[in-house]
Structure 1
Amino acid sequence: MELILAVDLAGGLVVHGKSGNRAGYRPLTWGLAPSAEPETYLSALQPRYLYIADLESIQGRTPQDNLVRRCAAMVERCYLDRGFRSPAECTAVAGVTPVVGTETAAATIEDLREYRGGYLSIDIKGGRVLPWGIRPAEMLRRAATMSFEGCIILNIAAVGTEQGLVREDLEEMRACYPGRLLYGGGVAGVDDIRLLSDVGFDGAIIATAVHRGTVPLEWVRRGHPC
């Protein structure tokens, strides 16, 4: 199972996200890294896999593409959520795996069929998929008939909270989708990593748990649990 370090970028810095309250995100000046400057930050943590959320672009401001490219060059694989709003935008940054978020990508669920490749991020708040309000399991069943390489369950409300995961919810979601499935948001520590692996998820996107020391940094450097 892949372990992927999440990095939220805003204003050219790494910021710490919590519960999707983007207006309250602040530079990540605590934890394991000596700086919130992205390249210094990544040099210190040395992750194998990286997930970048370009919060500037997601919120409709100027994308940080040059910074993203430099960060992506420092890891083996980089997933990028840039707030893609059309299939054409998915080629804007070379050398990354595009992440197409339901929050921004399409007016209707059927419009998602226009995308080819990349990962579909099923963005969840209050237990429902943004912006349509359906259950994650239903969205996964529909995604199984689309052309994405895999899906990400992103529990936005749980980001940065370390609230932990519920086995029954994970099992239901895993049963609804036959392809590669990653999870992000609220992963509290090693027990949650083991749970995701046991249920059959293919990867976990984590950050706060690494800085708090509840998931070993060495695991992120290796790119999988040891």
Structure 2
Amino acid sequence: MSATSVFPEFEVVPAVDVQDGEVVQLVQGERGTEKRYGEPVEAAERWIDAGARSLHLVDLDGAFEGERRNAEAIDAVVDAVSVPTQLGGGIRTADDAIDLLERGVDRVILGTAAVETPEIVGEISEEHPESVVVSLDAKEGEVVVEGWTEGAGVSPAEAAERYEDLGAAAILFTNVDVEGRLEGVDPDPVRDLVEATSIPIVASGGVATLDDVRTLEEAGAAAVVVGSALYEGNFTLEEAQAAVGND
């Protein structure tokens, strides 16, 4: 993967997923499986102190319910940090996305909205270039939406090509089959996406070891989002960065 202005080099991005105002991690995106990790600003500052170059923020309640539910908690994170942030969950309109970008979020992540109204990607990108990351979450090779509860009838590779043409800055690919289970990654879908599009692929889901981080880099991903493995102490952010030569 060539360097881009979005991810100039391979990056390990800590996740700050927020539910009911707290940082949580879910198993395979299912409510009721969450493990809690405290206050969002504290978590964000912890990762920045550890060397994070950017943060991945998600309003999980927003992802499930279709509108932002943790705006106050996430706004507090954006206000508190100086590194770039990308935010997803409950962003359903171009106006919502543009408002977030103008308030300090660096990139918005669109999932359901991009699937249901693809032109929204171009509308936002025209006003804010390189600001839209399209989230392609997949179960058994099919893109899923509405908090991972409904199939969209298209493969991630087919969808990625479409969004590249519409101006997406990157694709966030979450393999729901392995998400949150700490059982390792499947690099094949990532390779397929890298081959299907020239924009950066950000991989997410299943990272349990430093070998998983290396595997995703070798598969061609431009970055990897890591949640449970960092929160559970499987490895440190510093170790992950060193594993891919970013120490």
Q: Give the TM-score band, short-chain normalised.
A: 0.7 to 0.9
Cα–Cα, structure 1 residues 89 and 65, in superposed 2: closer, same or farther, change >3 Å?
Answer: same
- Partners of 2:184 and 2:154 lie apart in 1 by 22
Structure 2 CA distance for aligned equivalents of residues 137 and 45 of structure 1: 31
What's the CA shift for 1:16?
A: 1.8
Written as runs of structure 1 = structure 2, the 5 A alignment for 1:207-226 is 207-219=227-239, 225-226=246-247
SS at match of 1:71: helix
Counterpart in 2 of 1:156? 176
For each residue in 1:58-82, what CA deviation from the matched residue of structure 2 results, as whole angstroms up to 9, or x when unmatched? 2235532232122123241111003
What corresponds to 2:59 in structure 1? 54
Query: Which piece of structure 1 moves more, 103-112 or 205-214?
Result: 103-112
Q: CA deviation at 1:151?
A: 1.1
The residue that corresponds to 1:80 in the other structure is 87
- Is the CA contact (8 Å cut-off) linking 1:83 and 1:105 kept in structure 2? no
The count of corresponding residues between Structure 1 and Structure 2 is 218
- Aligned partners of 1:132, 1:111: CA distance in 2, in Å? 17
Counterpart position of 1:118:
132
User: How large is the Cα RMSD of the aligned pairs?
Assistant: 2.4
Matches of 1:84 and 1:61, distance apart in 2 = 6
Deviations 1:24-54 (A, max 9, x none): 32422xxxxxxx0122233334333211111
Determine which of 77, 91, 99 is the counterpart of 2:108: 99
Which residue pairs with 1:67 in the alignment?
73
What corresponds to 2:28 in structure 1?
19
Equivalence for 2:11 = 2
Q: Secondary structure at the match of 1:42?
A: helix
Alignment of 1:19-38 (within 5 A): 19-28=28-37, 36-38=38-40
Partner SS, residue 165 of structure 1 = coil
User: Given the alignment of the two structures, is residue 197 of structure 1 paired with residue 206 of structure 2, yes or no?
Assistant: no
> Is contact 1:115-1:148 (8 Å) kept?
no
1:33 aligns with none
Post-superposition offset of 1:111: 5.8
The percent identity for this pair of structures is: 24
The residue aligned with 2:3 is none
Of the structure 1 ranges 44-53 and 56-65, higher mean CA displacement relative to structure 2 is found in 56-65
- Aligned residue number for residue 177 of structure 1: 197
Change (3 A) 1:89 1:106: farther
After superposition, the Cα gap between the structure-2 partners of 1:71 and 1:45, relative to the gap in structure 1 and judged at 3 Å, is same
Give TM-score scaled by structure 2 length.
0.78
Query: Where does the alignment leave 5 or more consecutive residues of structure 1 unmatched?
Result: 29-35
Does the aligned pair in 2 maintain the 1:45–1:221 contact within 8 Å?
no
- Structure 1 residue 220, shift from structure 2 partner: 6.5
Partner residue in 1 for 2:43? 41
* Alignment TM-score, normalising by the size of structure 1: 0.84
Distance 1:110 1:39, change over 3 A: closer
Amino acid aligned to 1:144: E
